[in-house]
Amino acid sequence: MATVSSDLSGRRILLIISGGIAAYKALDLIRRLRDTGADVRCILTSGGAQFITPLSVAALSENKVHTDIFSLTDESEMGHIRLARDCDLVLIAPASANIIGRAAHGLADDLAGTVLLATDKPIMIAPAMNPVMWENKAVQENLGILKKRGYTLLSPGAGDMACGETGTGRLAEVPDIVKAVSAFFLQGGPLKGLKALVTSGPTYEPLDPVRFIGNRSSGKQGHAIAEALALAGAHVTLVAGPVKEPVPRLVHAVHVQTAQEMLDACLKALPVDIAVCAAAVADYRPEETSDTKIKKTGKEPMTVKLVQNPDILATLSQSNRRPKLVIGFAAETNDGLENAKKKLANKGCDWLVLNDVSGGKVFGQDSNIVTLLQKNGAGVSADTWPEKDKKEVARDLVAQIAASFK
């Protein structure tokens, strides 16, 4: 099993840098967060830009810096709503008395304020200001409001201040902020405490010691889902067929070859709260597997008798230890929606992710166009997503899963 480390690879942090002399420390913070593997996107407020330049922030984060809500380019490339949602954590460091007050009162007349209202992600706040300002009742009351709303406060330290005064108000030390962010990811996440099972990749059904019946599934989508679930805090067991795709971090992987082995591994992983069956399981296997390499006989035709494999998705969906949420995939070349609806009903799962695999599309590629079918009451809703990277499909699916467990 992969060990849980404090590394932040794959975590997406939206850093809001507000005004104050401590803004220069945000540059070091970006570097250190990136050293641990995090992807850091930054919003530099107009106050912050008085102290550090967008260019240094962009150079260190290796991402575009967002500065102005009314930038038309930004709004066409990435609107403020997406910016607010496309992250795992919002971190305000340094947070000035001004941004604290504006956040507490829901003011949205700049990008930072708007993003803080539009985000559905956890928010951490690391204040930095003059000690007298820090102790001011207005600031403390505003912070009280934010804490009540679920903001995590990274308290400022005491010591000599840049303004020449001594007291509490120094930005928390950068390594301590990084530690707090790591700790947050290890403990937090919307799926914290939940168990998930993911099947991924193909199965190989052996004919003899050197030959098998298999398919072209790369495991990219299933592995991406396993990683996204783990990053959301779930304890994930990934049952993987033979693939080149590396085991995602934070995930416990069980490697199998055949459909029967995949089913056995899945049943062993129960009980779980969530099951996502993304594997391209072979529907049939040779009735007999030869222990030795099958020789040419010179006779034609050569026939291989196939028998049906167990259906893992249907077995999980109909099990008496059924996961609360069971999600299947449907690879279809024609009449996709119609077939997918039938599959959803026949297999007994709750959601189905439909892929169009006509002409060999999807297998091995990095992007995917999917339709998410969800049972709701007696009906089924179908939502077709625009073409996305498979990792993004995984994140969006996990966001839907998290919402359904709220």
Residues that bind ligand CTP (CB under 6 A): 199, 259, 277, 279-281, 283, 309, 311-313, 328-331, 343
Nearer to ligand CTP, 20 or 336 (CB): 336
Cα 398 from Cα 394, distance rounded (Å): 6
CA dihedral 65, 68, 71, 75 (to 10 degrees): 70
Nearer to ligand CTP, 185 or 329 (CB): 329
Least CB distance to ligand CTP at residue 386 (A):
22
Nearer to ligand CTP, 174 or 266 (CB): 266
- Give the chain's largest Cα–Cα span: 95
Nearer to ligand CTP, 110 or 332 (CB): 332
| Alpha-carbon 282 to chain mean position | 28
Strand 388-389 and strand 367-368: pairing?
antiparallel
Nearer to ligand CTP, 94 or 201 (CB): 201
Which of the residues are catalytic? 163
68 in Cβ contact with 83 (< 8 Å): no
Least CB distance to ligand CTP at residue 398 (A):
16
Q: If we measure between CA atoms, which residue out of 202, 198, 215, 220 comes closest to residue 388?
A: 220
Q: Which residues contact 92 (CB under 8 A, 6 or more apart)?
A: 15, 16, 18, 99, 103, 112, 116, 123, 124, 125, 126
First to last CA, the chain: 28
Q: If we measure between CA atoms, which residue out of 339, 22, 398 comes closest to residue 173?
A: 22
Least CB distance to ligand CTP at residue 382 (A):
16
Identify the bridge partners of residue 205 per DSSP, sorted by sequence position: 213
What phi and psi values does residue 380 have, to the nearest 5 degrees?
-135, 130
Residue whose Cβ sits closest to ligand CTP: 312
Structure-token match 């959601």, residue found: 351
Strand 379-384 and strand 370-376: pairing?
antiparallel
Q: If we measure between CA atoms, which residue out of 80, 93, 66, 326 comes closest to residue 199?
A: 326
Nearer to ligand CTP, 58 or 314 (CB): 314
Least CB distance to ligand CTP at residue 389 (A):
20
Nearer to ligand CTP, 134 or 329 (CB): 329
Return the number of other C-beta atoms located less than 10 Å from residue 301's C-beta.
5
| Alpha-carbon 242 to chain mean position | 23
Cα 112 from Cα 323, distance rounded (Å): 40
Structure-token match 């189905």, residue found: 352
Least CB distance to ligand CTP at residue 287 (A):
16
168 in Cβ contact with 135 (< 8 Å): yes
